[in-house]
Structures are given as structure tokens and as C-alpha cells.
């Protein structure tokens, strides 16, 4: 989590960096809170309401991943599943129109609204 926050701080094109996150324990940990306190002028977290997966932009990505995994042969172990998942995300890196589409769904459009 801290590596991701550091990356947002250094690679962002806006100031301050703002992240919308769910209420996963990693996002609310003391370590993350201490990091944010030390970089309050650079980055801030905004938490989604509890029990609101429909507002989480990760959900369309997860649904797309599940739909794209091969149905004819399931991964036999964790390594095979990880390899299939990496292939999926490498394909999506070459398809920015698909990635943008994740944020055009009505329930997550708030991310694009200014």
C-alpha cells in the first residue's frame, strides 16, 4: 500500500493527489495513516461508504477479469491463476478504450465528473 501511495505522490499530474479507496483494513492501517500524516499536503484518501461495492471502480475491472478467464480450462493452482491474471492486465494495457470504459458506467461516473 505504501509503495502505491509513494508512486501516486511522485507520478501524479495534479496536486494534491487524491485517492478514492474502499474501507479495506490496509487502507485504514496505522502505517498508512502515519504515512499520510507526513505527506498531508501531497496526498489524501477519500473513503467510499461502507458496503458500497457498486461505487467502487474496481468492481467493473474484477467483473471483466472474471468474464475473460478461460471457461474451458480452469487454473489448476495459484501460479496458473496469477499467470492468467497477468495476461489479462497486459492485454488491457494495450486497450485504453476498454480501461476508460470501466469509468463510464453510471455508478462510477463520479470519478470522471468535474
Q: What is the mean pLDDT of residues 32-59?
A: 84
Q: Is the pLDDT of residue 87 over 80?
A: yes
Q: What is the mean pLDDT of residues 36-55?
A: 84
90 — pLDDT class (breaks 50, 70, 90): very high
Answer for the pair 60, 68: CB distance below 8 angstroms, yes or no: no
From residue 30, alpha-carbon distances to 3, 21, 33, 35 in Å are 15, 16, 5, 9
Query: pLDDT value at position 71?
Result: 74
Helix crossing, 78-93 with 58-68: angle to 10°?
110
DSSP β-bridge partners for residue 44: 18
Q: Is the pLDDT of residue 38 over 90?
A: no
Q: Is the pLDDT of residue 37 over 70?
A: yes
Closest CA to 23 of 61, 66, 58: 58
Half-sphere exposure of 50 (CA within 13 A, CB side): 2
Query: pLDDT value at position 8?
Result: 60
Amino acid at each position: 500500500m505504501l509503495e502505491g501511495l509513494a508512486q501516486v505522490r511522485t507520478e501524479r499530474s495534479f496536486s494534491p493527489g487524491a485517492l478514492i479507496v474502499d474501507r479495506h483494513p490496509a487502507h485504514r492501517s496505522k502505517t498508512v495513516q502515519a504515512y499520510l500524516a507526513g505527506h498531508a499536503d501531497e496526498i489524501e484518501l477519500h473513503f467510499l461508504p461502507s458496503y458500497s461495492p457498486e461505487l467502487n471502480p474496481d468492481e467493473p475491472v474484477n467483473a471483466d477479469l472474471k468474464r475473460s478467464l478461460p471457461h474451458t480450462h480452469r487454473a489448476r493452482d495459484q501460479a496458473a491463476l496469477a499467470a492468467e491474471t497477468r495476461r489479462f492486465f497486459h492485454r488491457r494495457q494495450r486497450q485504453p478504450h476498454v480501461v476508460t470504459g470501466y469509468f463510464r458506467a453510471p455508478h462510477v461516473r463520479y470519478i470522471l465528473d468535474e
